[in-house]
Amino acid sequence: MPKPLSGRSYLVTGGAGFIGSHLIRALLERGAGVVCVDDFDDFYDPRIKRENVRPFLEHEAFTLHQTDIRNAERVQEIMSASAEQLVTGGIVHLAARAGVRPSLEQPRLYLETNVGGTLNLVEAARACGIRKFVFSSSSSVYGERPSSGPFREDEDVSKPISPYASTKAMCESLLHTYSHLFGFRVVALRLFTVYGPGQRPDLAIHKFTRLIDSGQPIPLFGDGSTQRAYTYVDDIVQGCLAAVEYDATPFEIVNLGAAQTIRLSLLVELIEKALGKKATIDWLPPQPGDVTITHADVSKAERLFGYEPSTKIEDGIRRFVEWYVAARGEESPGGSEE
């Protein structure tokens, strides 16, 4: 049985997004209160995000604020208004400008949102006496590594290869400072390529599925040999829920990923099989900022949280495609392109 969280409240930034909306559902189901902050930006169709939170709007334990985390004054107002409740739980910070490739074009925006927004949140939390902070970092902080083995949290991450990855590494450092100086209990979760129902339309699995389904060519950068630890969203939510409960140490960085890595070419084959359609491939040169492999060592998460990712890629892709096919025939923009 999932552990009940009744009597606790959490501020979830980016709560209208893919991972955020799955996490909010899980928190509400366990009896927690949720204050959701999201700016509904146009990185992809905002209607998708509004549809994500629509089921929660009538829930008595759910509050929604449309706010940009770059607005320090507004962040402070929201947190102050709910501080008494949030002290019982904490903050789960998922909001960010996402994506490696777009960060190459807009590095200033990524720095201002990801680092500046995180600073606004921890400063507001400090003023309100809220000391539990779960942060959504990224496997991209590992960059290109000399070793092909699993990525471990104690590795040097001082050489990221994209502005997006740099901002996530900066936030980890900032949160360590706040933990050290002000007594924050921080868990920074390095997430590995999350997918599942409701996945952002710009991400590979959703994009490939949509293009294959419509008979359009899919762009593959490189030779198809890149590998990712594609992680089903339910497994990520499991880890997030464990992180909000964890309080044994003041600061931890923890990988959340799948137990297996999958070649890009195999991923395409699995989507083809689930859709019952063949892909046409447009081969393109490798993209700057993309790493060739991500491979999660999750032994620390297992040791600290009892984390155990259980969704095989074959099952996860099948569930995603089932969701996509169902959403495709509805009025909902759930399968729309950005």
Rounded Cα distance, 132 and 32, in Å: 15
Which segments of the chain are extended strands (E)? 9-13, 33-38, 62-66, 90-93, 132-138, 185-191, 194-195, 218-221, 227-228, 231-232, 251-256, 262-263, 281-284
Q: Which of 164, 178, 230, 324 is catalytic?
A: 164
First to last CA, the chain: 37
Rounded Cα distance, 323 and 271, in Å: 13
Neighbours of 67 (CB within 10 A): 18
Catalytic, 10? Answer: no
Residues facing residue 262 across a β-bridge? 228
Q: Look at the chain and count its residues.
A: 338
Q: What angle, rounded to 10 degrees, do the helices at 204-213 and 313-328 form? A: 60
The bridge status of strand 90-93 relative to strand 9-13 is parallel
Query: Is there a contact between 264 and 224 (Cβ–Cβ < 8 Å)?
Result: yes
Residue holding tokens 């799955």?
22
Rounded Cα distance, 122 and 182, in Å: 10
Catalytic site positions: 164
